[in-house]
Amino acid sequence: MPHLTAMQLDEPGRPLRAVQRPIPAPGPGEMLIAVSACGVCRTDLHVVDGEVAARYPIVPGHEIVGRVLALGAGVTGFAPGQRVGVPWLGRTCGRCAYCRSGRENLCDSPEFTGATRDGGYASHVVADAHYCFALPERFSDAEVAPLLCAGLIGWRALRLAGEAPVVGLYGFGAAAHILAQVATWQGRRVHAFTKPGDGAGQDFARSLGCVWAGGADELPPEELDAALIFAPAGELVPLALKAVRKGGRVVCAGIHMSDIPSFPYADLWEERQILSVANLTREDGVSFFAVAEQSGLATVTEEFPLGEANRALARLRSGELIGAAVLRP
Ligand SMILES: [Zn+2]
Ligand SMILES: [Zn+2]
């Protein structure tokens, strides 16, 4: 019987280990996919650290690019051999008040790829076809992988920022390097905030169209209409509030963040808003991949063999990565 290889997390805080198991057959509505690339997302670190809800053991990975090997009963819209993407949103109930009101990202009983169902740090994955995407052709497998979460959830965060001609991006990693290009293409002025003293990160941000780049402890040369926070550091929230104008928004785009320090009410007053982004809807994916096609954006990736998943996670944790890490089985 053919086997798949996966990098599995047995319990939080442990290194991933290589496992082999029989390749499962896709159930009704599912597809068996041969993985060709899987992006490494900060949420994977939160899964490894036990900071977000997950089941264990689990195979992480929710920026999956692969080709359809087999269709389960009732799957329509996909064909064997087709390239597909599998995102974080693995399944929703379709019945709760959120699902029925176009907010399936907030579903009461969701499944998440790489957290509550096995993900793409593997040679093969089984996914619910209803939540998979066809992908823009102009990207290679490795290039398109980071779009499936860093790009997509960043896109949702940018939409929640509203009109916002002047935006700030706090934490210039995988998501911000994509969103800076999209926002610039939309005609916005983008300011990038990195760790203080991260000259390489600031140069990278300017090379992608940012009009200014500096440390997160600095104020930008103009007031922001909105700030998007991608780094999981709660102390950025009061800093970003000081950088946004009256009526401006601070959008927290991560799934986990350290505690937010207290701050004077005066910094929130004048109708400034703080909001968070949770997950994605399928509509976010459809609209974002259209923008990814039109905007001419390019992703910067660092590739690792699947067996070096622990090293990729360590590189992400250390802040040394430029762009996004991608695993290749
Ligand atoms: Zn639901
Ligand atoms: Zn993610």
Instruction: Name the maximum alpha-carbon separation found in the chain.
Output: 65
Question: What is the 74 CA–ligand 2 centroid distance (Å)?
Answer: 28
- If asked whether residues 178 and 308 sit together in one domain, one would say no
Give bridge partners of residue 91 from the DSSP assignment. Answer: 111
Count of the separate structural domains present in the chain: 2
- Closest ligand by atom to 44 CA: 2
Question: What is the 59 CA–ligand 2 centroid distance (Å)?
Answer: 14
Task: Give the residue carrying structure tokens 């941000």.
Answer: 205
- If asked whether residues 260 and 234 sit together in one domain, one would say yes
- Closest ligand by atom to 63 CA: 2
Side-chain half-sphere CA neighbours of 35 within 13 A = 32
- If asked whether residues 187 and 215 sit together in one domain, one would say yes
> What CATH number is attached to the domain comprising 126?
3.90.180.10
- Closest ligand by atom to 147 CA: 2
Which helix (DSSP H) or strand (DSSP E) does residue 152 occupy? helix 150-161
- If asked whether residues 144 and 7 sit together in one domain, one would say yes
3-state secondary structure of 146: helix
| Rounded Cα gap, residues 190 and 164, in angstroms | 10
Query: For residue 2, what pLDDT is reported?
Result: 86
Query: Residue 276 is encoded by which pair of tokens?
Result: 């968070």
User: Could you tell me if 40 and 312 are in contact, meaning their C-beta atoms sit under 8 angstroms apart?
Assistant: yes
Domain boundary among 234, 258, 276: 276
Question: What is the 1 CA–ligand 2 centroid distance (Å)?
Answer: 32
- Closest ligand by atom to 94 CA: 1
- If asked whether residues 130 and 27 sit together in one domain, one would say yes
Query: Residue 73 is encoded by which pair of tokens?
Result: 């009963």
Question: What is the 253 CA–ligand 2 centroid distance (Å)?
Answer: 10
Task: Give the residue carrying structure tokens 């998979």.
Answer: 132
Q: How does the average pLDDT of the chain come out, rounded?
A: 97
| Rounded Cα gap, residues 158 and 185, in angstroms | 13
- Closest ligand by atom to 281 CA: 1
Q: DSSP letters along 175-239, please?
A: HHHHHHHHHHHTT-EEEEEESTT-HHHHHHHHHTT-SEEEETTSPPSS-EEEEEE-SS-TTHHHH
User: Could you tell me if 132 and 78 are in contact, meaning their C-beta atoms sit under 8 angstroms apart?
Assistant: yes
- If asked whether residues 297 and 269 sit together in one domain, one would say no
- If asked whether residues 320 and 238 sit together in one domain, one would say no
- The predicted-structure confidence for 284-316, as pLDDT tens digits, reads as follows 999 999 999 999 999 999 999 999 999 999 999
Helix axes 150-161, 174-185, angle to 10 degrees: 50
Q: Which residues of the chain carry a pLDDT beneath 50? A: none
Question: What is the 273 CA–ligand 2 centroid distance (Å)?
Answer: 24
- Name the nearest CA neighbour of 19 among 122, 125, 127, 126: 122
- If asked whether residues 99 and 119 sit together in one domain, one would say yes
Residue 213's domain comprises: 151-276
- The predicted-structure confidence for 170-184, as pLDDT tens digits, reads as follows 999 999 999 999 999
Contacts of residue 137, defined as CB under 8 A and 6 or more positions apart, other chains included, come to none
- If asked whether residues 284 and 144 sit together in one domain, one would say yes
Query: For residue 311, what pLDDT is reported?
Result: 98
Question: What is the 149 CA–ligand 2 centroid distance (Å)?
Answer: 5
Question: What is the 71 CA–ligand 2 centroid distance (Å)?
Answer: 26
pTM: 0.95
Question: What is the 295 CA–ligand 2 centroid distance (Å)?
Answer: 22
- If asked whether residues 303 and 265 sit together in one domain, one would say no
> What CATH number is attached to the domain comprising 263?
3.40.50.720
- If asked whether residues 130 and 187 sit together in one domain, one would say no
- If asked whether residues 13 and 142 sit together in one domain, one would say yes
Question: What is the 64 CA–ligand 2 centroid distance (Å)?
Answer: 11
